[in-house]
Structure 1
């Protein structure tokens, strides 16, 4: 069974917002054994939406639609769906009551535009949106299932979890899709491919290997589908262990997790603590760490110290060091890392100082120059990196490099 996802909204196409809904929905569908054939983003234009629906139903059994269900004139999804399915409108009294209760709860006046949110195409099944005023609509037309949901991410997610996924599972007999992910670090995609070429060539046709690279990391994903989950898992595991044995020095985790989560798991198992001292990354490393539940068992805290004054007062960097070598230097970043360990009383710390850009370059220190240091009880290691002139990319690359350095030190000294 195949699904297609259509996201509606000019704000997506002009880059005003990022479409995170599609990625999340695709992941949930994959977990229940439904493959996503295509993801399409379309403008707030009726003809464009209708064209997308026509094409989608040629390819997929289930078409999931998000966006365009608000009360204003630019929200045209509901009207366009009614036109597409040749339906009239009816007022859904349960939805009207729900919308009324929301406005009463917040002591706000309800106008006719809000009441019209209860008007739905007359042959659809209305699914209550407990977290908003726009109802979810389920259509069974042309031998397909169409589901229209709000574009607000948390509203869509609750509807998918509580209503849509259970209904799809009840409507279809779905296969088992099994994935095994291996996270590697400090080896490029092409070098990794060469290392495991013989294993990849020996894979049976029903087991696929995908390379999923990002900065400083490559995830290897083995995938297959069938009816017997235990058998699929056993078969895939044979090839996974062959790959792991072949590239063991680069293997970080044998599950689908991020690099920072692998570090947290490693440190938690050994009851180790971590702190951060950031300058050019502006707290991005701390953000990556703290997005994971339970991180407080490892991560004690950190400091974002842009100015010389804060580097000195918070981290104890010597004024002489800054005056002689500057903020972007090996000497400064090593003192930052040691200061973080002393101030936050942690087993490990990581410090980053650099020139993120696009301006601010100095003679001998062009934009993209970044120094990183990792400190622990056995010493401090430091390394300089030369990235490009794109600020956002430099911040992300610096964070990835810092995490890789932490992991390297942990593996060398704690295994």
Structure 2
């Protein structure tokens, strides 16, 4: 089965907002065996919307559109639907009662005419009831294609996808299974991994595909299997994953998206009842942001000092000024002292420190752009490693964060 996802809105095309709806819908469809064939964004223009509907007619099984269902004049999707399906707008009493109740109970004001017009829907449409907002979703069919129109507000769209669209697609279509397994690797580049697993990749069954998804400091290997029997697909993927562990097991951190290295490290810290603190310079608080995005991190993460400026390293973190004078602010000696000071201030078992020159310009050090020192203070010692992560700046910061977690991960496993 094939699907197309269409987002409607000039605000997307001019870069004012980021389209997150398409990603959410594609993942939801993929879970039920519907492959997204195409994904596009179009303007709030009647003819553009009509052309898109004609384009996908009979080309895909399902078209899911978001946006253009609001109460203002620039929201024209409903009227355009009527033109395409040779239909007319009629008032839906159930939707009207919901809109009235929402406006009067939540906003505590009388319902306006513009609010009432939210209850106007194409007469041929199957209504997808939107408990989260005033704009209902619409399901319409023409020849071999189902067209679904949803509001563009993300939390309303998500509710309708989960509670209306997906259940009805499951009931409406017989679908194959699509099963994914994502292997998370750290500390080795995409090209080197590809060389190491080349023979294995060449001998994968035809119904299993491999995709490389590189990011600074990490590479995800996504295995996708398609077929009619889910159990057989899962068993086949397990066999292939075991072979991957044999080939590159030393760089595999976990399986699937929720097994990122910061989550794995957090689990280890929690299981062993040890704590962590940070002293960040060139990473600017990014490590703390990543850690605190994990639920339950407060049980092992005690805090961070973002001593970005040299003065902050001395006056707030307590770094020995003579080390900066003698060795430079970007040096092994300063990184080690930063880690030890963080460990001391927060009374933690482990502490990580980063100092470097992320570029593109040099700061208070003559260190080459891309240079980063990462120090790790443990219950027994402190050590530091030097790296050059190249450019651009975003790459340096991302790779430094991932490398720091990788060093901590390996250190915890040693003990």
Structure 2 residue 78 is matched with structure 1 residue 39: no
Q: Would you say the 8 A contact 1:337–1:349 is kept in 2? A: yes
| Aligned: 1:12 with 2:2 | no
For 1:146-165, what aligned pairs fall within 5 Å after superposition?
146-165=147-166
If the length of structure 2 is used for normalisation, what is the TM-score?
0.91
Deviation of 1:241 (Å): 0.7
Alignment of 1:205-354 (within 5 A): 205-256=206-257, 257-354=259-356
Partner residue, 1:77: 77
Question: What does residue range 185-196 of structure 1 map to in structure 2 within 5 Å?
Answer: 185-196=186-197
1:137 paired to 2:147: no
Structure 1 residues 89, 384: closer, same or farther in 2, change over 3 A? same
2:127 match: secondary structure: strand
How far is the alpha carbon of 1:377 from its aligned partner?
A: 1.5
Greater shift in the superposed pair: 188-197 or 288-297: 288-297
Q: What are the ranges of 5 or more consecutive residues in structure 2 without an aligned counterpart?
A: none
Deviates further, 18-27 or 275-284: 275-284
Structure 2 Cα separation of the partners of residues 95 and 360 of structure 1: 60
TM-score under structure 1 length normalisation: 0.91
SS at match of 1:174: coil
**Cα drift, residue 388 of structure 1:** 5.1
| Structure 2 CA distance for partners of 1:369 and 1:198, relative to 1, 3 Å | closer
Name 1:89's counterpart in structure 2. 89
Alignment partner, residue 202 of structure 1: 203
Give the superposed CA RMSD.
Answer: 2.3
CA contact (8 A) 1:372 1:384 kept: yes
Deviations 1:138-184 (Å, cap 9, x if unpaired)?
11223322111122212211211122111111111222222222211
Per-residue deviation, residues 288-340 of structure 1 (Å, max 9, x unmatched): 22222233333233232334454345433223334554543333322222222
Shift of 1:366: 4.8
Matching residue of 1:402: 404
The alpha-carbon distance between structure 1 residues 228 and 137, as it changes in their structure 2 partners (threshold 3 A), is: same
- Report the counterpart of residue 124 of structure 1 in structure 2: 125
SS in 1 for 2:231: helix
Change (3 A) 1:99 1:359: farther
Report the 3-state secondary structure (helix = DSSP H, G, I; strand = E; otherwise coil) of the residue aligned with 1:247: helix
CA distance in 2, matches of 1:166, 1:212: 30
1:277 and 1:336 in contact (8 A); partners too: yes
Q: Kindly indicate whether the alpha-carbon contact (under 8 Å) linking 1:37 and 1:59 is maintained by their aligned counterparts in 2.
A: no
Greater CA deviation, 107-116 or 28-37?
A: 107-116
Measured after TM superposition, the shift of residue 194 of structure 1 is 1.3
Match of 2:60 in 1: 60
3-state secondary structure, aligned to 1:177: strand
Relative to structure 1, the CA distance from residue 81 to residue 397 in structure 2 (aligned partners, 3 Å threshold; closer, same or farther) is farther
Q: Give the Cα–Cα distance (whole angstroms) in 2 for the partners of residues 86 and 109 of structure 1.
A: 34
Q: Aligned in 2, Cα 1:203/1:305: closer, same or farther, shift over 3 Å?
A: same
The separation in 2 between residues aligned to 1:387 and 1:36, in whole angstroms, is 35
Is 2:98 aligned against 1:98?
A: yes
Contact kept in structure 2, 1:210 and 1:220, CA below 8 Å = yes
- Kindly tell me: are residues 363 and 332 of structure 1, through their superposed partners in 2, closer, same or farther at Cα, counting changes over 3 Å? closer
- Of residues 393-402 and 128-137 in structure 1, the stretch that sits farther from structure 2 once superposed is 393-402
Quick check: 1:88–1:122 contact (8 Å CA) kept in 2?
yes
Q: Distance in 1 between matches of 2:324 and 2:93?
A: 69
SS of alignment partner, residue 204 of structure 2? coil
Q: Which runs of 5+ in 1 are unaligned?
A: none
Q: Which string of whole-angstrom CA distances, capped at 9 and with x for unpartnered residues, describes residues 170-225 of structure 1?
A: 11122222222221111111111111111112211111122121111111122212
Deviations 1:119-150 (A, max 9, x none): 22221122222122222111122332211112
- CA change 1:246–1:130 in 2 (3 A) is same
Distance 2:48 2:385 in 1: 52
Contact 2:281–2:356 under 8 Å retained in 1: yes
Distance (Å, rounded) in 2 between the aligned partners of 1:113 and 1:387: 55
Larger mean Cα displacement after TM superposition, 301-310 or 92-101: 301-310
SS at 2:87 equivalent: coil
